[in-house]
Amino acid sequence: MNLKKPNLKGSSILRDAAPYCVAILFYLVIKHLYVLGDLIAAVVSVIMPLILGLILAYVIDPPVRAVERRLRKRGKSHPRGKAIAIVVLIIVFSLLLLAAAVIPQFTTSILQFSENSTAYHDSLQSSVNRLMGRKIDLTSTFKITDLLMEKVNASIQKAISSKSAATGKGLASFAIDFILAVYFLIDKNKIVGRGKQFFQLVIKDSVYPRFASFMKRCDTIFIKYLMCEIIDAAIVGVVNAVFMLIFRMSYVPLVSVLVGVTNLIPTFGPMIGAAGGVFILLLEDPLDALLFLVFTGALQGVDGYVIKPKLYGDTLGIPGLWVLIGVILGGRIFGTWGMLLAIPVVAILDIVISEGLVPVLKSRKRIFDKGSQAGLAAQARAAAAGAAAGAAAAVAEEAAAVAEEAAAEKAAATAGAAGENAAAAGDPDEPSSGQGRADAGPDEDED
């Protein structure tokens, strides 16, 4: 007995099974999503030194280019390498000098916070008495502040002891990133050339000039923003240090560095720096803390309305609401780096929206409007054609009716004429020859 095999087509089977396969794959991906997250985190952790090295190289490149131009004007040999060496040495020396000025004072201030509570009580008591003009008992307030300071000191010491290993690891990672940045700076021309070749191969020739112009504008925005922020932070820190030295305040390097570094953070940075400086100076001398707070407010006003507009110019013409939203979202999603880079990212998004998205939407709207107008015209023409066809049909019907009526009248007239002829043929006054013969027949028979 021969059994025929069923005729199964592979394409139809695959077509029928595809939705089930996709559903099963989607379920597996959702169920093991944590594995995908771990994989992404592992990949990011591996390439993060490269990313940070590229960022550092990108930040260091503008001063390197400036020094390189000066060396080229003087006719020096190997200007690129010498410029990189000069800038790197300046950065390393500045970081070491900053660490030598801040770290000892930071540790000293932490120790003084925990050991000199009695001196803080006396200083605060005398300052309040001078301000109020009479003696006010602050014993209950001191009990609360001592309890708070004990908790703060314990948490600070615990954080320092627990984060010491992490701090050493972070410094080692920063050193590796810095070395990678130096190598990226050395091979900058090759990297940029390969990047241009890649984008020219990927992007259409008609689109590439606009893409290159957009990337150049983004580079200008980022570089000018970073340079202006660093210069502005240095100005604010130096002016704050001069003010504190004039009034002979304590912790000048620590507070000035704190104010300058936090000034890099848009919107909320000056408030964080002012709060930290007031807290540090309040434990030493409340009057110094009050003077520092007033001066910081005035300095931030001058910085916001005079210094920054002069530095930035018209490069970043973005609304303040966009800046605030960008800082909040950047801080929530990317942390400190998100807050630092919020303003240039918002400026680039503003360019993308105003010069990229809006023209596309306007062109689409014009096309849609033209299509709508063409559709309305086509509908009007169709309606006119339909009306003309209806009128022609009515005329044709009327003509047919007239023709039928005429034909009926003609048929009636023909029938009438035929009837009259028939009546005339049957008249008795004019007998027919047949009747005559019929009448003569009997006579002949009689004969």
For the chain, give every domain's residue range: 205-319
- Please indicate whether residue 315 or residue 244 has the higher confidence score (pLDDT): 244
Of residues 22 and 142, the one with the higher pLDDT is: 22
**CA distances for 32 relative to 15, 28, 29, 39, 41, angstroms:** 26, 6, 5, 11, 15
| 13-22, 127-136, 275-284: the lowest-pLDDT one | 127-136
327-337 per-position pLDDT tens digit: 788 777 766 66
- Contact between 87 and 68 under an 8 Å Cβ cutoff? The reply is no
pLDDT at 431: 47
The more confidently predicted of residues 443 and 152 is: 152
Residue 417 has pLDDT above 80, yes or no: no
* For range 9-24, the mean pLDDT: 70
Look at 152 and 282; give whichever has higher pLDDT.
282
91 by DSSP, 3-state: which?
helix
Q: What is the pLDDT of residues 62-117, one digit of tens each?
A: 889 989 999 988 888 888 889 999 999 999 998 888 888 777 777 776 666 555 55
Confidence band for 127, pLDDT divided at 50, 70 and 90: low
- Provide the pLDDT for residue 19: 76
Q: Is 225 or 312 the better-scoring residue by pLDDT?
A: 225
Q: Dihedrals φ, ψ of 250, to 5°?
A: -90, 165
Distances (CA, A) of 183 to 52, 84, 179, 391, 447: 13, 10, 7, 85, 160
Say what the pLDDT of residue 29 is: 74
Q: How confident is the model at residue 183 (pLDDT cuts 50, 70, 90)?
A: very high
370 pLDDT more than 80: no
- Measure the CA–CA gap between 289 and 299, rounded to whole angstroms: 15
At residue 366 the predicted structure's pLDDT band, cuts being 50, 70 and 90, is confident
Q: Packing angle between helix 117-132 and helix 139-186, nearest 10 degrees? A: 110
Query: What is Dmax (Cα atoms) for the chain?
Result: 188
Rank 201-210, 362-371, 403-412 by mean pLDDT and report only the highest.
201-210
Please report the pLDDT score of residue 441 as a whole number: 45
CB 288 within 8 A of CB 281: yes
Higher pLDDT, 98 or 432: 98
Average pLDDT rounded to a whole number, residues 243-257 = 87
Neighbour tally for 307: CB within 10 Å: 18
